[in-house]
Amino acid sequence: MTVTLKSHLGCPFCNIASGNEKDTLLVYDDLEVCAFQYPNPDSDNHFIVLSKVHIPDYNSLTEQDIDLLEKMQTVGGRLLNQVIEPGTPIRMGFLPKSLSPVNHLHMHCLALPLTCGWMRRLLYKPLIFFDSKDLIGEVKESCYNL
């Protein structure tokens, strides 16, 4: 499968995904996604998994992106499982565009408990944070129930 990288001028995550950001150490990298440790972690183990194709946010997803979302979820789960004890609760998902500092599809992958302050913890509550499994289900449902 050939993936054509579509970058967006000035997007910091496009720079990371294309390997042009030398200050970010990738902990995972393939043709479709890459991942790095979040520089301002909200838990002891906090990774960001990026799409290498510039997709502004989860509202821009289509049927063609379902495999990408599933890959992001798999990569995030594997990264967390490498650094946590079995049975440690995890949270993987997406913040809404209005609360995300970068308009590029990226998934937060965290091992609980959260270590951030109470205001930041609010970002990971169910009414704000879109769980990756739920998002995949929503995209599938919206694509197949047209």
**1-55 per-position pLDDT tens digit:** 334 455 566 899 999 999 888 889 999 999 999 999 999 999 999 999 999 999 9
For the residues 125-143, what does the mean pLDDT come to?
91
**Do 7 and 20 contact (CB within 8 A), yes or no?**
no
How many whole angstroms from its chain centre is CA 40?
15
Rounded CA gap, 103 and 97, in Å?
7
Q: Quick check: 102 pLDDT over 80?
A: yes
User: Catalytic amino acids?
Assistant: 108
Q: What is the mean pLDDT of the chain?
A: 90
pLDDT at position 7: 56
Q: pTM of the full predicted structure?
A: 0.90
pLDDT at position 10: 81
pLDDT at position 113: 97
Q: Quick check: 104 pLDDT over 60?
A: yes
Report phi then psi at 5, rounded to 5: -75, 125
Q: Give the count of beta carbons closer than 10 Å to the beta carbon of residue 141.
A: 9
Q: Quick check: 114 pLDDT over 70?
A: yes
% of the chain residues with pLDDT over 70: 92
